[in-house]
């Protein structure tokens, strides 16, 4: 009799370092998973972390999560796969995470293990050559890449697919630590290697990469299980507090997508035109997801360049007279500062965000009419140097504090400051200079596996 074959994937948390209840993790382990996989990062926090080479997740949080995952993986002979290590997935982030793994294995005396380290960094010289050859194209809404911007870019990474992770599995690696990766890749690698349909595996990975965020009520700090079957996959929670529903699963399938039916990735497209969601007693079953390979294997490049330095000041007002004419007051204050330091002003970018009115959406706010009794003002200055940003922010803050606007009665000061010092130098500012597609050549070896023995 033909035995039913499945692959069970444990996704412990939405991003490595966000945490998960120990009870949920134990219940997930009781499901006998074939792999423990976790997404370690994202571009969501912006370009700073890639450009500066710093993690956006807390080291103690990452070490706490990995301690559970690695102990369980090594003791039960379950591969542990980490994608986009350190938050942005450049070499500096991967090495940071590797050191944490080394500490855990040594401190917990977990014995010998093999780590497959897969760097995602692409040399700038290669990108420059491909740019000159016309082999790089921008994503929608992104300007063409220039050699000038490329030269200013610090770290360049490419989103790897599941193939390098399968290579590491074939080498017998117990832990796979990958740099920047396509979000579903670390979840799809084991079931694809086992022979399951790539469309089902990648769609399941698309949802599992955010763990219980896709359940209801959603949580970025709880475990979930995905089970790949021959013609569908099943999503289940392991906490009594939440469950997968048709609505929550459909909603998360639309997450971070410009097209509801198609999701491009390394080497092809996930087609969801005929996908069906069926709610069952303990979860949701998903059918019909298809992976369509592209004619040419393409990967997404990411890189960031330094654009300046930021200083901010947070203030608030409860004066209805001031609130009623904030736009006019801010414009007049900027004009006054421009006269005081014309060159610094011209070289700076200045924005005063009005929280309580349109601070979130700015000029796109559909309801700009102010209806509240107080407003928070965030003075945001970007300068060429930190001292330039400090100077302009200081003048913006002090001028606004004592500005004599029409109808003002009090003469002490217009603003309340929650912090002292009131001005905060936040340092380097980066922007994405690379958000482009590169077409791989047959002889490219961008994601080699480096075996590390502990």
pLDDT in tens, 107-149: 999 999 999 999 999 999 999 999 999 999 999 889 999 999 9
- Residue 443 is predicted with a pLDDT of 87
Q: Judging by DSSP bridges, how do beta strands 80-83 and 35-39 pair with one another? A: parallel
Q: Which long-range contacts (CB under 8 A, 24 or more apart) does 227-231 make?
A: 227/6, 227/7, 227/8, 227/9, 228/6, 228/7, 228/8, 228/9, 228/191, 228/196, 228/200, 228/201, 228/204, 229/4, 229/5, 229/6, 229/200, 230/4, 230/5, 230/196, 230/197, 231/197, 231/200, 231/287
SS3 291: strand
How far CA 38 is from CA of 41, 161, 168, 185, 261, in Å, comes to 9, 15, 16, 10, 25
Distance CA 258, CA 273 (A): 14
Q: What's the first-to-final CA gap in the chain, in angstroms?
A: 43
As a whole number of angstroms, the longest Cα–Cα distance in the chain is 89
- pTM, two decimals, is 0.93
Taking all residues of the chain, what is their mean pLDDT, rounded to a whole number? 95
What are the two backbone dihedrals, phi and then psi, of residue 322, each rounded to the nearest 5 degrees? -70, -45
User: Which residues of the chain are under the pLDDT cut of 70?
Assistant: 1-4
Domain map of the chain by residue range?
7-302+434-453, 319-415
> Which pLDDT score, from 0 to 100, does residue 358 have?
87
What is the predicted pLDDT for the residue at 4? 56
Return the pLDDT at 2. Answer: 40
């Amino acid at each position: 009799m033909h035995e039913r074959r499945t692959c069970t994937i444990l996704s412990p948390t939405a991003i490595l370092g966000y945490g998960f209840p120990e009870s949920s993790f134990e219940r997930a382990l009781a499901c006998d998973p074939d792999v423990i996989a976790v997404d370690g990062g994202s571009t969501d926090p912006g370009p700073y972390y890639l450009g500066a080479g710093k993690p956006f997740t807390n080291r103690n949080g990452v070490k706490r999560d990995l301690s559970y995952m690695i102990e369980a993986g090594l003791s039960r002979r379950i591969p542990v796969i980490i994608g986009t290590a350190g938050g942005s997935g450049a070499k500096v982030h991967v090495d940071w995470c590797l050191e944490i793994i080394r500490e855990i294995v040594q401190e917990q005396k977990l014995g010998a293990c093999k780590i497959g380290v897969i760097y995602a960094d692409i040399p700038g010289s290669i990108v420059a050559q491909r740019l000159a050859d016309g082999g790089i194209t921008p994503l929608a809404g992104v300007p063409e890449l220039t050699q000038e911007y490329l030269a200013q870019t610090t770290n360049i990474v490419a989103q790897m697919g599941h193939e390098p992770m399968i290579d590491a599995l074939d080498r017998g690696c117990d832990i796979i630590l990958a740099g920047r990766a396509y979000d579903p890749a670390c979840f799809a690698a084991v079931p694809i290697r086992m022979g399951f349909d790539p469309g089902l595996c990648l769609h399941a990975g698309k949802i599992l990469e955010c763990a219980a965020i896709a359940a209801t009520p959603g949580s970025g700090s709880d475990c979930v299980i995905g089970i790949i079957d021959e013609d569908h996959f099943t999503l289940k929670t392991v906490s009594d507090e939440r469950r997968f529903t048709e609505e929550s699963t459909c909603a998360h399938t639309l997450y971070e997508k410009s097209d509801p039916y198609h999701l491009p990735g390394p080497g092809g497209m996930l087609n969801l035109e005929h996908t069906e969601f069926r709610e069952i007693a303990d979860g949701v079953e998903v059918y019909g997801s298809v992976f369509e390979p592209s004619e040419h294997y393409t990967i997404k490049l990411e890189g960031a360049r330094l654009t300046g330095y930021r200083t901010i000041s947070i203030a608030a007002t409860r004066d209805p007279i001031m609130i009623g004419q904030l736009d006019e007051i801010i414009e007049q204050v900027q004009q006054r500062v421009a006269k005081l330091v014309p060159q610094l002003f011209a070289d700076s970018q200045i924005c005063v965000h009005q929280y309580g009115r349109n601070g979130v959406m700015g000029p796109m706010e559909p309801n700009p009419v102010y209806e509240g009794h107080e407003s928070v003002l965030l003075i945001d200055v970007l300068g060429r140097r930190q001292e330039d940003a400090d100077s302009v922010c200081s003048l913006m803050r002090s001028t606004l504090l004592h500005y004599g606007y029409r109808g003002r009665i009090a003469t002490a000061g217009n603003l309340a400051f929650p912090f002292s010092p009131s001005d905060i130098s936040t340092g380097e500012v980066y922007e994405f200079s690379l958000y482009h597609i590169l077409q791989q050549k047959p002889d490219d070896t961008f994601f080699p596996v480096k075996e590390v023995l502990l």
